[in-house]
Structure 1
Amino acid sequence: MMVNSFLEVEAKFAVGEHTPVPDLTVLPEVATVADTKKHNLSAIYYDTRDLRLTHAKVTLRRRTGGADDGWHLKLPGDGGRLELSAELTEPVDGEFVVPEELRAQIRSIVRDYELMPIAQVDNNRTESLLADDSGQPVAEFCDDRVTAWSLLPGGQQTSWREWEIELSGRLAGTEEGAAIISAATTRLISAGARKSASPSKLRAALGDSLEEAQLPDYLTPHDDPDSPAAAVVNALKANRDKLVAYDPKVRRDEWDSVHQMRVATRELRSHLQTFDGVLAGEQVEHILAELKVLAGMLGSARDAEVVEERFAWLIDADDSGLISEEDKNHILGTINNEYQRAHRRIVLGLDSQRYLSLLKDLDQLLADPPVVEPTEDDEAPQEMDEVMGEHLDQAYAKLRKRHKKAVRNWDNPELSLHQREEYFHDMRKAAKKLRYAAEAVSSATGLKTRRIYKACKQMQSVLGDFQDSVTSRNKLQAMAAADARRGRDTFALGLLYQREREIGLQALRDYDDAYDRITSAYRRLRKKKK
Structure 2
Amino acid sequence: MSPSDTIEIELKFDVEAGLPAPELFELVAAPSNSEQSTAATEEGRATEEGRATEGSIGDPETYLLEATYFDTADTLLAKNKITLRRRTGGTDAGWHLKRPSSVAGGRRETAISFEDGGDSEVPTALREQILTVIRSAELVPVATITTDRTVTIVRDEHGRSLAEFCEDVVSAESLLPGGSTNRWAEWEFELTGGDHKLLKRARKLLLAAGARRASSESKLARAIGTQPHDDLVRALPKKASALGLVQFDLATHRDALLMWDPIARENGHDAIHQMRVAARKIRSILQSYPGAIAPEMSAPVADELRQLAEVLGDARDREVALAANEHLLARESAPADLVRVLIEDEQVRHERSLKAVRFAMSTPRYLQMLDDLDRLIEAPIPGHAATQDARKAAAEAVGLSYAGMRRAEKKLKNLSAWSPEWVEQLHTVRKRAKAVRYTAESADPLGRRALAKAGAEAKSVQTHLGIFHDTVLNREHLAKAARNPALSRDALFVLGRMDAHEESRGRRAVRKYRRSRR
TM-score, L = length of structure 1: 0.84
Contact 1:442 1:448 survives alignment (8 Å):
no
Partner of 1:502: 504
* Structure 1 residue 61, shift from structure 2 partner: 1.0
3-state DSSP of counterpart to 2:73: coil
Q: Which residue of 2 aligns with 1:362?
A: 373
Partner of 2:76: 52
Partner Cα distance (2:220, 2:292) in 1 = 40
Q: Distance in 2 between matches of 1:78 and 1:29?
A: 29
Aligned-pair CA distance for 1:470? 1.6
The DSSP-based 3-state class of the residue aligned with 2:97 is: strand
Partners in 2 of 1:179 and 1:407 — Cα distance?
Answer: 59
Deviation at 1:154, TM superposition (A): 4.4
Give matches, 1:156-305, under 5 Å: 156-168=180-192, 171=193, 177-207=195-225, 210=227, 219-220=231-232, 226-305=240-319
Q: Does 1:339 align with 2:353?
A: no
Q: CA deviation at 1:197?
A: 4.0
* Greater CA drift, 471-480 or 23-32: 23-32
2:58 corresponds to: 34
Q: CA deviation at 1:449?
A: 3.7
Cα deviation, 1:223-279, whole Å, max 9, x if unaligned, reads x96332121111111111111111111111111111111111111111111111112
Name the SS for the 1:409 alignment partner: coil
Separation in structure 2 between the aligned mates of residue 197 and residue 436 of structure 1, nearest angstrom: 41
User: 2 CA distance for matches of 1:473 and 1:118?
Assistant: 56
Cα 1:426–1:151 shift into 2, 3 Å: farther
1:78-123 CA distance string (max 9 Å, x none): 322221122349x99xx95312221122112212211122233222
Q: Which amino acid aligns with 2:189?
A: I
Residue 138 (structure 2) pairs with residue 114 (structure 1): yes
Question: Which amino acid is 1:135 matched to?
Answer: G
CA–CA distance in structure 2, aligned partners of residues 236 and 374 of structure 1: 17
Find the aligned partners of 2:425 and 2:54 in 1 and give their Cα distance.
61
- 83, 93, 105: which one aligns with 1:69: 93
Distance in 1, Cα, partners of 2:464 & 2:254: 27
Which residue of 144, 154, 178 maps to 1:130? 154
The alpha carbon displacement at 1:22 in A equals: 1.5
Match of 1:4 in 2: 4
Residue type matched to 1:188 in 2? L
Hey, what does 1:439 align to over in structure 2? Answer: 441
Does the Cα contact within 8 Å between 2:337 and 2:488 map onto a contact in 1?
no
Q: Distance in 2 between matches of 1:141 and 1:466?
A: 54
Q: Is the 8 A contact 1:258 1:298 kept in 2?
A: yes
> Which amino acid in the other structure matches residue 111 of structure 1?
R
1:173-232 Cα distance to aligned partner (Å, 9 max, x none): xxx52222222222222323233242222222222x548xxx79xx4569x963321211
1:87 to 113, 116, 127: 113
1:350 maps to 361
Per-residue deviation, residues 282-313 of structure 1 (Å, max 9, x unmatched): 23211111111111111111111112222222
Are 1:101 and 2:125 an aligned pair? yes
Provide the secondary structure at the position in 1 that maps to 2:87. Answer: strand
Contact 2:291 2:385 in 1 (8 A): no
| Alignment size in residue pairs | 488
Contact in 2 for aligned 1:24/1:30 (Cα 8 Å)? no
| Structure 1 residue 507: Cα displacement | 0.6
Task: Tell me, in whole angstroms, the C-alpha distance in 1 between the residues paired with 2:57 and 2:427.
Answer: 61
| Structure 2 Cα separation of the partners of residues 10 and 271 of structure 1 | 39
* Residue 521 (structure 1) aligns with: none
Give the distance between the partners of 1:247 and 1:135, measured in 2 at CA.
39
State the Cα deviation string for residues 302-339 of structure 1 (Å, max 9, x = none). 11111222222222234xx5x34553454222222221
Residue 398 of structure 2 is aligned to residue 392 of structure 1 = yes
| Structure 1 gaps, min length 5 | 376-380, 517-530
Name the CA distance, whole Å, in 1 between partners of 2:406 and 2:130.
Answer: 42
CA distance in 2, matches of 1:486, 1:310: 20
Matched letter for residue 290 of structure 2:
D
Q: Distance in 1 between matches of 2:374 and 2:437?
A: 24
With 338-347 and 72-81 compared, the bigger mean Cα shift is at 72-81
Q: Shift in Å at residue 132 of structure 1?
A: 1.9
Letter in structure 2 aligned against 1:399:
M
CA gap of 1:398–1:177, structure 2 versus 1, over 3 A, is same
In 2 relative to 1, CA 25–205 (structure 1 residues): closer, same or farther, beyond 3 Å?
same
The 1:369/1:514 distance shift into structure 2, 3 A limit, reads farther
Q: Distance in 2 between matches of 1:443 and 1:335?
A: 42
**Match for residue 414 of structure 2?**
408
**Preserved contact between residue 61 and residue 73 of structure 1 (Cα < 8 Å):** yes
Q: Are the structure 2 counterparts of residues 122 and 391 from structure 1 closer, same or farther at C-alpha, using a change threshold of 3 Å? A: same
Distance change in 2, residues 1:296/1:182 (3 Å): same
CA pair 160-429 structure 1, distance change in 2 beyond 3 A = farther
Instruction: Give the Cα separation in 1 of the matches to 2:487 and 2:363.
Output: 37
Change (3 A) 1:325 1:123: same
Identity over the aligned pairs, expressed in percent?
34
Q: Which structure 2 residues correspond to residues 426-505 of structure 1 after superposition, within 5 A?
A: 426-444=428-446, 449-481=451-483, 483-484=484-485, 489-505=491-507
1:372 counterpart (370, 383, 392): 383
Asked if 2 retains the 8 angstrom alpha-carbon contact of 1:12 and 1:162, the reply is yes
